[in-house]
Amino acid sequence: MCGIVGFNWHDPKRLEKMAESLCHRGPDGKGEYLDPFVSLGHRRLSIIDLSSAGHQPMPNEDETLWLIYNGEIYNYLEIKRELEDLGHSFKTSGDTEVLLRAYEAWGSTCVERFNGMWAFALLDIKNQCVILC
């Protein structure tokens, strides 16, 4: 089970301390995203995509979206095929990128398509918001 942490200010030391407190939940990697307004941290437990391509926080191509995620979307392969039919391409084999692409395609209503269990924080820089689900 991955560990996710975050808050709405810039504090690298606090973020590192919070993420480190969850190292038992994510021994396979760690990552962070910081800007002047948001701090996001991730501790990774690799289950579906074992490659480094599944590193989080995961950005989209132009880095206007940043995702930290834990859970499993059981129907992610079906959603992935639907997104590929819409023209989306994928660099990973896991459900994290599917969640990111689904948000690009359908906005926050993308979660209505998911069957599974999850917790995520998605920073949408263009719309100046963080989606927590």
Residues involved in catalysis: 2
Burial class (CB in 10 A: 0-12, 13-18, 19+), 35: exposed
Closest Cα partner for 92 from 34, 52, 124?
52
Question: For the chain, how far is it from start to end, CA to CA, in angstroms?
Answer: 16
